[in-house]
Chain A
Amino acid sequence: AQSVTQPDIHITVSEGASLELRCNYSYGATPYLFWYVQSPGQGLQLLLKYFSGDTLVQGIKGFEAEFKRSQSSFNLRKPSVHWSDAAEYFCAVGAESGGGADGLTFGKGTHLIIQP
Chain B
Amino acid sequence: DIQMTQSPSSLSASVGDRVTITCRASQGVNNYLAWFQQKPGKAPKCLIYAASSLQSGVPSKFSGSGSGTDFTLTISSLQPEDFATYYCQQYNSYPLTFGGGTKVEIK
A, B in one complex: no
B residues apposed to A, CB below 8 Å: none
